[in-house]
Chain A
Amino acid sequence: MEFFKIRRDIPFMKNALVFNVISLVTFVAAVFFLFSRGLHLSVEFTGGTVMEVTYSQPADIEGVRRTVAGLGYADVQVQNFGTARDVLIRLPAQKGVSSAQQSDRTVAALKATDPNVTLRRVEFVGPQVGEELVSNGLKALAMVVAGIMIYLAVRFEWKFAVAAIVANLHDVIIILGFFAYFQWEFSLAVLAAVLAVLGYSVNESVVIFDRIRENFRRYRKMSTVETIDNAITSTISRTIITHGSTQIMVLSMLLFGGATLHYFALALTIGILFGIYSSVFVAAAIAMWLGIKREDLVKASSKREGDPNDPNAGATV
């Protein structure tokens, strides 16, 4: 079987401007929604109490909301979680009342209306933990960005490093934009997914850059644009199949993983789809505009010419 029967190199770079304008528009939209709507942060970040209760029959969400609001909470969220019988209740942190008292009181109130309710999970996070998580999350992001840039700059060249990071940070912003627009819950697991996606879609750029470098060495007469087009064309089948395979796994999580893994898998899905797009079209184009040249790479790796493992050793035209 072969999905990709491509006769000639596809002129990706001719349309680079179009792709980047699309990217820019999506990016700006994502930033706009991030600021206008903000992220719907989970209780891990904001502090507060989350309770998961289950009923023997499909739950009356409105009734639950009324009961909990009757306890005097100003900002209560009640929603279904997974099935119609499971209900998720979010309570804001209250001064002077421990989470144990909060959840006990809530369960008692719910039991009074329907004795068939059972408590499945309680999660309480103090406000100071949330602040720490935000700062640690940002530190982790900074470390990933710096680490990847340094590695790419050493292994390739700074222009590639900049191109890859710009392209992939734009993925991250777009994922966050989706979460802001749809007001999906942004939890710690989603944060992990976002960072994992960052590492993963840089892969994509690396594979293409690798090819560009190889082509620079192999085809001395090709122009930079042709080289890039050829590199993308020859790796596109691998890109699609790899991402397809990863997406199969993520889809399986989306289908079987239940409500807990739902947003995690969703973040990965968006990340994978935009990851292909940005590393293929955006990263390569930015690298082109930054003016990558054959000399940058071939000279940089001239020491490796004698490397016995280099398949191109001695291959001069």
Chain B
Amino acid sequence: MNRYPLWKYAILLVALLIGVLYTLPNFFGEDPAVQVSAARSTVRIDASTRTRIEQSLAQAGIKPLSVIQEGTSIKVRLDSTDTQLKAKDAIQRALAPDPNDAGYVVALNLLSKTPSWMASVNARPMYLGLDLRGGVHFMLQVDMKAALTKRAESLAGDLRSVLREKNIRHAGIERNAQTVLVRFRDPAALTAARAVLADQFPDLLVAESADGDATLVTATIKPEAGRRVQDQALKQNMVTLHNRINELGVAEPVIQQQGVDRIVVQLPGVQDTSRAKDILGRTATLEVRMVDESTEGRAAEAGTGPVPFGDERYLDREGRSVVVRKQVLLTGENLTDAQAGFDNQTQEPAVHLTLDAKGARIFRDVTRDNVGKRMAILLFEKGKGEVVTAPVIRSEIGGGRVQISGRMNTVEANDTALLLRAGSLAAPMEIIEEMTIGPSLGAENIAKGFHSVAWGFAAIVAFMAVYYMLFGLFSGVALAVNLLLLVAILSMLQATLTLPGMAAMALALGMAIDSNVLINERVREELRNGASPQAAINTGYDRAWATILDSNVTTLIAGVALLAFGSGPVRGFAVVHCIGILTSMFSAVFFSRGLVNLWYGRQKKLKSVSIGTVWRPDADGAITKAE
């Protein structure tokens, strides 16, 4: 009765082999490496880049272990951290000599020493969380209200120009928070405007009301359009963050969406945290608007008059006030590139901008109509606007190539270009959570987590072996298999291991032994009640199974709740906790039974089993002594 058919042993063996295969990569360690990737989408990583890297290394007298191209990056494996730093310098000199305008990101990285055949079956080590390897973690909240306000503003601008084009007379367009308000006095114009709105502005929900002798049309952004705006804002902000982080040179940045309006950024291994915060924290948005050159505008600029209706007043870097129109002509969305350079004729420092097709068209129209006037480029940081530059338009500019020059030195030109180039955010963001973990702390955390698991495991196995003898040893082996499978599954899922995750691993082992204790106690009890050893093993396992299932389900309910509502560290804990419960059912019941069956199952006339003392109250002695 205590024999498994061959196929059951086969399953056990296969599970064990897969477990070993996927656990092993975690033990190979890592080689220092230098990773080269493109900083801009226009830069390509190909065989010629690789040759350049190899040449630069040869010139510096560095022999890399290997140079491999993986997707859009080239990884150079090196033998020590010393050569790693030298190699980084050499490659940087060859590929990206100008830190302000680097086409490539050259970053330090670590590469697993896992043999390539293992990697080819996706047997890779687990990712280590930031708390284990050091780095920076940010959670940013995107100000969606601002994104909607901005969308409403640009819709109001569109509406204004369409009405003008079609010669529909209105009595004023304004934006109030996220709504666009238009007044019409002429019923014919109202009818025409209705058609225009229905036709060209599908995103707007229109309501009409009487307002004195005029009709007030209130247009709000439809909910689904609003969601789309928010979605796009989030995506664009993520792209922008990507660009900014590229300037930092991080090998494997993580930029993820969390919820509807949050972005998580993790920069593993970053040591210069203040620079990271500096670059990321520059949560700026870019807008191009016209300067109000009317007399009222000038008066407001000089501080002698109120700011005219439809205008806003901002300060430039020197603290001079500039009065600009509320209407936004262009945003950072339309800007594809910005470079610092020099004016061809005057040799003054300048910033060269490249606009996309839509931006170029708008820019041409605007400049044609406004030669001799000033336009302002504004940068918004946390809701506070600043005029970066307010140049005079000298002539119509077509083709999307714009040059800003005058009143700038080289450093300022570089700064401005960097700010413009790093893209602009569709909506402002604010850091709402931040964590910085030094690299030494990460290494300590690994050691602490590892020691907790190792010593706890050893103590439990020792206790089980003493208390339950051979059955205890079987339980210990089952527990080891549990750990193996747990690590294997986590590696297979490419889960991120954190310190709470390691704590969950320790706890999972501590709880998993429960199943084996249940079984062993049950077997002892059957023996105490006078069952034959074979029958005792059989009934012991069978009866314990129902209890094990019940108790694991309740534990699993708690784990799933943590998974559903936890975030960050709690999630890491919950994932390991849940997987640990599942693997424990396999190993503690199925695997340990397999071991017991293999050991005892064939013996027909089994007289005793090694499960420690089976004490009987009536005989006051053991019927089955330990061997």
Contacts and interface: CB of A to CB of B under 8 A. Distances in A.
B440 A120 contact: yes
B514 A120 contact: no
A199 B435 contact: no
B130 to A, nearest CB: 10
Contact of B433 (A52, A124, A214, A234): A124
A98 B281 contact: yes
A118 B134 CA distance: 14
Interface in B371-422: none
Interface in A109-153: 118-126, 128-129, 133, 136-137, 139-141, 143-144, 147-148, 151-152
A139 B554 CA distance: 17
A70 interface: no
A144 B563 CA distance: 11
B547 interface: yes
B542 interface: yes
Q: Determine the interface band of chain A, counting residues with CB < 8 A from chain B.
A: 35 or more
B468 to A, nearest CB: 8
A249 B510 contact: yes
A311 B274 CA distance: 66
B351 interface: no
A147 to B, nearest CB: 4
Interface stretch (A60-68, A175-183, A237-245): A237-245
B573 interface: yes
Contacts of B444: 258
Contact of B499 (A120, A133, A151, A261): A261
- Sorted nearest first, the 9 A-B pairs with minimum C-beta distance are A199-B558, A249-B510, A252-B456, A126-B432, A203-B551, A249-B456, A246-B510, A124-B434, A140-B565
Nearest to B557: A147
Contact of B517 (A98, A125, A241, A256): A241
B499 A260 contact: yes
Contact of B617 (A7, A52, A104, A210): A7
B566 A238 contact: no
8 contacts: A2-B614, A123-B434, A129-B139, A140-B564, A151-B553, A155-B550, A192-B574, A206-B550
B319 interface: no
B452 A261 contact: yes
A123 B432 CA distance: 11
Contacts of B574: 192
B569 interface: yes
B438 interface: yes
B10 interface: no
B432 A129 contact: yes
Contact of B507 (A196, A242, A255): A196
Interface of B: 131, 139, 141, 273-274, 277-278, 281, 430-438, 440-441, 444-445, 448-449, 451-453, 455-457, 459-460, 463-464, 466-467, 499-500, 503-504, 506-507, 509-511, 513-514, 517-518, 521, 525, 539, 542-543, 546-547, 550-562, 564-570, 573-574, 577, 612-615, 617, 622
Max chain B CB contacts within 10 Å: which of A8, A137, A151, A252? A252
Contacts of A225: none
Contact of A192 (B500, B560, B613): B500
A10 interface: no
A139 B565 contact: yes
A141 B617 CA distance: 44
A267 B504 CA distance: 14
B563 to A, nearest CB: 9
The majority secondary structure among interface residues of chain A is: helix
Interface string A201-216: 0111011001000100
Given A126-B141, A144-B558, A261-B452, A104 B432 contact: no
A197 to B, nearest CB: 8
A200 interface: yes
B463 A245 contact: yes
Contacts of A99: 431, 434
A288 interface: no
A81 B267 CA distance: 25
Contact of B460 (A204, A234, A249, A261): A249
A206 B278 contact: no
B317 to A, nearest CB: 20
Given A100-B277, A199-B555, A250 B448 contact: no
Nearest to B469: A1
A249 B507 contact: yes
Given A123-B435, A124-B433, A245-B460, 11 more contacts: A122-B273, A129-B432, A136-B567, A140-B561, A141-B561, A202-B551, A203-B552, A235-B521, A245-B463, A252-B452, A257-B503
A93 to B, nearest CB: 10
B564 A143 contact: yes
A311 B577 contact: no
Contacts of B550: 155, 206-207, 210
Given A126-B431, A128-B432, A253-B456, A245 B517 contact: yes
Contact of A137 (B277, B460, B464, B565): B565
Nearest to A135: B565
A144 B564 CA distance: 11
Given A189-B569, A257-B452, A1 B612 contact: yes
